[in-house]
Amino acid sequence: MDWSLFHPFWAIGVPMTLSIPLGRLMARLLDPPADRVGRGVDAVPMFLVRLSGHREPAPMDWKRYAIALLAFNAALFALSFAILWAQSLLPLNPDGKGSLTALGYKDAAGVQYDGADTAVIFNTVCSFVTNTNLQHYSGEQHLSYFSQLGGIVWLQFVTPACGLAVMLAVIRGLRGDRNLGNFYLDTARGVFLVLIPLSLVLAILLVANGVPMTFDGAVKARTLEGAEQTIAVGPVAAEVAIKQLGTNGGGFFGPNSAHPLENPTPWSNMLEVIAIILVPMASIVMFGRMIRDRAHAAVVYGVMTALLVTGVGVAIWAELQPSPAARSLPVASGVNMEGKEVRTGAVAGATWSAITTATSNGSVNAMHDSFQPIGGLVPMSLMMLNVDFSGIGAGFLNMLMYIITAVFLAGLMVGRTPEYLGKKIEAKEVKLAMLAILVHPILICGGTALFAATVWGRATVANPGPHGFSEILYEFTSAAANNGSGFEGLADNNPYWNIATGVVLLLGRFPSLVLPIAIAGFLAQKKRVPPSTGTLRTDDLTFGAMLLGTVLLVGALSFMPAVVLGPIADHLTTVVATP
């Protein structure tokens, strides 16, 4: 029996089981009652917030909360930019890494330039400040240990905590709290009460499985042929733990979790893929506890799980098919192992691809560019929908926009004012929800159209025809969804790609955080309407089906033309048409 076939059951079943107690614990830690604020373990984040100058963290309305979010991230941007720019002057640099500006790039004709390029720093900082971790560089080659820990890993803790803080604020608004909390205190709680403890446990387990954790420089080894080989090491376990748990995805090494020092054993592979989805699942359980409506949270959880299981199933089916490139060759027919790690195989690679894109994680243990066209369509489509657990906090916020839309459409059909959690949904909330939904396809389709029509994109693809178009489409989809994974095949380290995707990263992140805060602020000011016989229930299968249908309908209308030009055309020309 091929036991690898059971990998997806463990990869989904274990985090589902663990998410229930973790979600309950998160609700107690991140939203303590008034008499427990600053007491017990909550004293740690409270002390740090007071130490920063906020003697008594003041409650914030939605405007102050949004301003605090944007100001804090602007400060993160400036500090991170300075660290990467001055890397060669900073400590913990045993291998003498220079500034990231000296990385060099390829122009649209593929010519290599080695001059200074601040665009790659701009792209990198945009990527990590937005919890995306899209990497146009290779960490072990271009970053010092200080940049990895003081810049990259620090952002990998703080930026998911920002998303979790916004989720907490929105939930408080939905349940009727006039003040949405304090952004700085919520962020500190997320870092010190959730992400650091979980990362410490995971890092220890990864070290036990052979993942390096050292501040020594690269190791020199001599091969059997007598050549000298440089093997990069470093504080790998610390970064891998938070890159998975924080839905970050940026690897210490260029090959990410396909690298044997990031992911050395089948057990490390299982631990890392479980960690990807654990906190996003737990955050939905936390949502149900905080609004005191576990049945509604179960419906949202069920819709997200249905999308995830479907994506995993389709990806596995596609990658278990033989590669059409090998049909005319005198080789044994088997599963599509192109771009796969032989240590993990096709099933584990396909499972990871679906989970990492459903959760806006972006780490990879296989090359998506080498997947079958339908197999590559799965991660692309999950990022296009961008509601399937997604990043910490962000998945719920994106799904909330569809919930409001579904409730509004149901109200139109029955001729009643739409209501959600006892609050009337009016034109203002619907307009903001639709704006949040439409920003996503505009960024993806607009960026793809521009680069597919110009030399900026056409000259950087590795493959002609539909597959080359898919490479461009995937890159903008990954950036807009704040995912960070790459279809690869692109020569994307040039000023055109760095600036374009950097702008998309910012626009894909902050409107999707600020607009839900505004909606929550408006709903918090409204009186609760008692339920009646005409109230739309949001805690049954009917609403679940309506919500799922709304997500799929909007997704199809937004992305079907691009998908037909890319993965579907690729499938028809390479798989169906190949004799």
The secondary structure of 86-117 as a DSSP string is: TGGGSSS-TT----GGGG-EE-TT--EE-S--
Q: Count CA atoms closer than 13 A to 98's CA, side-chain side.
A: 8
Distance linking the first and last C-alpha atoms of the chain: 31
Cα distance between residue 46 and residue 478, in whole Å:
36
Cα distance between residue 97 and residue 91, in whole Å:
11
What separation in angstroms does the CA of 150 have from each of 20, 91, 208? Answer: 33, 10, 24
The tokens describing 495, both together, are: 């000023």
- Structural domain contains residue 379: no
Q: Count CA atoms closer than 13 A to 412's CA, side-chain side.
A: 9
Chain CA centroid to CA 363, Å: 9
Q: What is the pLDDT of residue 289?
A: 95
Q: Domain check: are 270 and 403 in the same one?
A: no
Q: Are 380 and 477 in contact (CB under 8 A)?
A: yes
Treating both helix axes as pointing N-terminal to C-terminal, what angle do 294-319 and 7-30 enclose, rounded to 10 degrees? 150
Q: What is the pLDDT of residue 271?
A: 94
* Domain total of the chain: 2
Averaged pLDDT, groups of 10, the chain, 579 residues long: 67 95 96 87 87 76 96 94 83 73 54 64 90 77 77 88 96 92 94 95 95 84 81 85 90 84 91 95 96 94 96 94 75 77 86 93 89 93 92 89 93 80 91 95 96 91 90 95 86 87 95 96 90 82 94 95 94 73
Beta strands per DSSP E along 228-346: 228-231
- Compute how many other C-beta atoms are within 10 angstroms of the C-beta atom of residue 3: 8
Chain CA centroid to CA 482, Å: 5
Cα distance between residue 217 and residue 460, in whole Å:
34
Cα distance between residue 68 and residue 40, in whole Å:
26
Q: What is the pLDDT of residue 464?
A: 84
- Structural domain contains residue 340: no
- Structural domain contains residue 397: yes
User: Which residues lie below 8 Å from residue 184, measured CB to CB, with a gap of 6+?
Assistant: 49, 52, 54, 57, 68, 72
* DSSP assignments along 444-502, one per residue: HHHHHHHHHHSHHHHTT-SS-HHHHHHHHHHHHHHHHTT-----------SHHHHHHHH
Cα distance between residue 457 and residue 475, in whole Å:
11
- Structural domain contains residue 478: yes
Closest CA to 84 of 159, 9, 132, 155: 155
- Structural domain contains residue 360: no
The tokens describing 516, both together, are: 């839900």
Cα distance between residue 308 and residue 317, in whole Å:
14
Q: What is the pLDDT of residue 151?
A: 80
In eight-state DSSP terms, residue 387 is: -
Q: What is the pLDDT of residue 105?
A: 55
Closest CA to 340 of 257, 270, 283: 257
- Structural domain contains residue 64: yes
- Structural domain contains residue 492: yes
The tokens describing 182, both together, are: 């304090």
Q: Count CA atoms closer than 13 A to 491's CA, side-chain side.
A: 20
- The boundaries of the domain holding residue 431 are 393-576
Q: Which of 281, 300, 332 is the last residue of a domain?
A: 281
Q: Are 282 and 26 in contact (CB under 8 A)?
A: yes
Q: What is the pLDDT of residue 111?
A: 57
- Compute how many other C-beta atoms are within 10 angstroms of the C-beta atom of residue 579: 5
Q: Domain check: are 271 and 416 in the same one?
A: no
* H or E element that contains 220: strand 219-222
Structure-token match 């654990």, residue found: 278
Q: What is the pLDDT of residue 74?
A: 96
Q: Domain check: are 437 and 559 in the same one?
A: yes
Dihedral angle computed from the Cα positions of residues 273, 278, 279 and 285, in that order, rounded to the nearest 10 degrees? 160
Q: Which of 258, 281, 304 is the last residue of a domain?
A: 281
Q: Are 131 and 361 in contact (CB under 8 A)?
A: no
Closest CA to 353 of 333, 334, 372, 335: 372
Structure-token match 């593929």, residue found: 110
Q: Which of 263, 281, 299 is the last residue of a domain?
A: 281
Q: Are 113 and 107 in contact (CB under 8 A)?
A: yes
- Structural domain contains residue 309: no
